[in-house]
A and B are shown apart, each in its own frame.
Chain A
Amino acid sequence: MSAVLSVDLKRVRYGDRVALRDVALEMTPGEILGVTGPVGSGKTTLALACAGLLGRSVPARIEGVMHHGSPARPVAGYVFDDPAAQLTGLGGTVEEEVAVGPENLTLPREAIRGRVDRALTAADAAHLAHRVPDELSGGERQRVALACALALEAPLLVLDEPTAQLDPDATHRFGERLRALAGAGTSVMLVSQDAELLRTVTTRVLVLDGGVPAKLGRASDVLPADVETRPTERPPVPREPLLRAEGIVASYADRTVLDDLTIDVPRGSAVALLGENGAGKTTLARAIMGLVPVRRGEISVNGRRIDHLPVHERAHQVGMVFQDASRQLFSRTVLEEVAFGPRALGASHRQALVRAREVLGAVGLAELERVHPGDLAPQRQRLVAIAAAMASSPPVLILDEPTAGQDPEGKRCIAAAISTQRARGCALVITHDLAFARQVCDGAVLLSNGQAASRVLHSAGVLHGGTLAM
C-alpha cells in the first residue's frame, strides 16, 4: 500500500532554534497516527510540516524530505490548536466559513453545498450552520474548525488538539467519526494530550520529547498505563458560600443563555462547572465578572453584592482566566503581565514585581519572566494568565478550561494554583476534563440549557467515568 505521507526530517528551525529533528515516519491510507508529548516538544511543528504549511505561511527552515503520496490539492486538511485561528473572516455564517476551502478550490456551487453539508454533519455542527462564527462558544468553534478541515476532503487530516474544548460526549462522538473517516480511507494525524482518546482511536502513537521522537508504537505500548486518579483527601468544606450567584438571567440579543441560574461556591472549596458545549458556562463566568450584562439576579462575594460594581472594582473580589487566554495577555513580558493587576489595584511598582515573581514561581514560570507572552505556547500562555489573575489575590478565582491541551506537568501546576486559591478563598473551574475535576475539585455543578441541572458538593468522588453521578 503506497504511503499517504513519507517524512524524513533532519531538522526544523525557527530562526536559530531547532524545534524538531530526526523524525522519520510513513503514514498509510486509513491510518490514525497519534502524536503526543510535553508542551514544547515539537508536536505542532510536526503537524504543520505534515500539513504542508511549514515554510509557506509559517516561516521555518526545513532540512529533510517530505513527500505526500497524492497529487491532490490541498495535501491535507488542518485543524489548529486554537480554533479561533481557523476562522478566515471570509464567512459571515458558519456554513459560509466552512465553504471557504471548497470555494478556494473553485468547485461549482452544488459541489460546495454538498461538501459543506457533509463536513458540518461529520463534525457534529449541522445545527450551527447559520450562526455567526464570532458568537460561538469555544467548543462550538472547535467543531466548526473540524468541519472547515473536513470540507477540503483531502487524503490526509492533521488535527492539533481537536478535542481540547469539547465536552466528553462530543469527544466520544468525535472519536467514532474519526474511525469512520479512517475506515473510508482518510489518513489522520491526531496531536493530543488526551491519552484515553489516543488509546481508543489510534493505530500507532509517536511520542515526542525535546523535539526528537522518544517512542513510536501501539498506544498500549508507548503510553503510560491509565492510572485511576483518586480525589485528594481534604477536610470537609464549610457550607458558607463565598461566591453566590442567584437567579441569574443573561442573554445575547434574543437568545437567553442563562435562565434563572443559582450557584454557590463555598469558602475554601474548588467547584467544577460542567456541561456540554454552549450550555452557558463561559457566559456565567463573564456575568460574574461583569463582562456580560445580567438582566436579573444577584451576585455576591462574601455576603456583599457585587453585581452593581463596574468590572475594575469587581477585580478586587474576582479574578478570571479566559478560555482563550492568549487574548487576555497584552504586556511586553511575562513579568509585566503578571504585575499589571497588583499595579492597577494600587500596589507600588516594586511590590507588584515582588508579588508577580512570587506567583510566577508558584506556577513554575519563573524562568520565563522576560519572555514576550505572545512567544509562548498556548498552554503556557494559560499558565501566565492564571498567574496574572492570582497576583491580585482575589478571594474568588474563575478558570475557564484551564487544562485544555495541557500536558501532565501543566496540569500539576494548575492543580497547585487551585490548591493555593482554595486556601485564600474559592475557585470555580469550568472544565470538560472530568479526571482533573475529580482529582482537584471538591464538587461540581452540571449546567444544562443555562440552568444548574445538578449539583454535587463535598464529594468529588462522584465524578466517575465521564458522567456526573447524582
Chain B
Amino acid sequence: MIERLRRINPLTALATAVLLVCATYVVPAPIGPALTLGIGVVLSSLTGVGRRVAILAIAVALPTWLFLAVMNAVVAPEGDTIRVAGIAVAPAALVPAAWIALRLGAAVAALGWVVMMTPPLRLVHALAQRGLPAWSQYLLAASLAAVPEARRRAREVLDAQRCRGLAVGGGPLGRLRAAIPLAGPLMVSLVTDAERHAIALDARAFEPRGKRTSLVPVPDPKGERILRTALWALTVALVVWGFVR
C-alpha cells in the first residue's frame, strides 16, 4: 500500500493536494485546517518526506502566527486587553492569528508533499502524456527546478568566493554577510543559465507550441483516473459550497 502510494501518478497527488488546500480554506477552523494538516502530514510520512514537510510547514506557519499575533494583539489591539510587562495585549486576537497560520501551514504541507515526493520531471512526463504543450512542460519543469538550481548556483558562487579567501561565518549574521556579495553574481548567473537553457532546447529541436512524447512511461491505472475524477469533483463541490453557505 505504502509502495503504491509512493508510485502514485503525480496528477493524482496534485489533485489530492488541491482538494486539501480547498478544504483548508472552506471548512471552518479549527476542524478544517487541523484535519487537512493531519492528512498532509500522514501522507508525507508514509511517502518518506514527513520530516521535510513538517519543517517547511512550521517554518511558514510559526513566523506568520508570530507576526499576526504581534500586529493584532500588541501593536493595534482591539477589544479587551490585559497588561503584560506594562504592555497592553488583546488575547482574543491571538486565536484568529492562530487559525490563519494553521491554514497556511496545512496548505503548505499539502503542496509541499506533492513537490517533495514527486521528482519534477515525473510530473512533467505525466503532463506530457496528457497532451500538455511543450512550452508549458518546460515552464513547469523550470519552475519546479528553480529553487534547487538557485541553491546549486549559490553554492558554486559561494565555493568560488571561499576558495579565494572569503570567510563565511556561522549563524544568521554570518549567513547574511555572505549573502550580500552572493546576491548580484547569483542573479547574473541565473539569467545566464536561463539563456543557455533556451539555446540548449533550441539545439534539441524543441518547438514551444508543439507536443512531446516521452521515453519514461508514468503509469496511470484506471483506478487512479476514477479517483482523480472524484477528487476534482469534490474540489469543485467544496468551492461551490464555500460560496453558497
Q: Which residues of A contact B (CB under 8 A)?
A: 51, 53, 56-58, 73-74, 77-78, 80, 85-92, 95-96, 99-109, 112-113, 116, 134, 148-149, 152, 289, 291, 310-312, 315-316, 319-320, 322, 327-332, 340-341, 344-345, 374, 388-389, 392
Contacts and interface: CB of A to CB of B under 8 A. Distances in A.
Interface stretch (B15-23, B54-62, B101-109, B190-198): B190-198
B244 interface: no
A344 B149 contact: no
B215 A96 contact: yes
Given A96-B216, A341-B164, A57 B199 contact: yes
Chain B contact residues (Cβ within 8 angstroms of A): what range?
Answer: 35 or more
24 contacts: A53-B203, A57-B201, A78-B203, A85-B196, A88-B200, A92-B119, A96-B121, A96-B216, A102-B215, A103-B214, A106-B212, A107-B213, A109-B213, A109-B217, A112-B213, A113-B215, A148-B204, A291-B159, A310-B167, A312-B168, A330-B157, A344-B161, A392-B164, A392-B165
B145 A99 contact: no
A80 to B, nearest CB: 7
A332 B188 CA distance: 10
A100 B202 contact: no
A288 B214 CA distance: 42
A322 B213 contact: no
A56 B202 contact: yes
A80 B200 contact: yes
A112 B212 CA distance: 11
A90 B216 contact: no
B205 A116 contact: no
B35 interface: no
Contacts of A87: 200
A57 B202 contact: yes
B136 to A, nearest CB: 13
A101 B201 CA distance: 8
Which one of B161, B188, B203, B207 has the highest number of Cβ atoms from chain A below 10 Å of its Cβ? B203
B204 A104 contact: yes
A112 B214 CA distance: 8
B200 to A, nearest CB: 5
A83 to B, nearest CB: 11
B49 interface: no
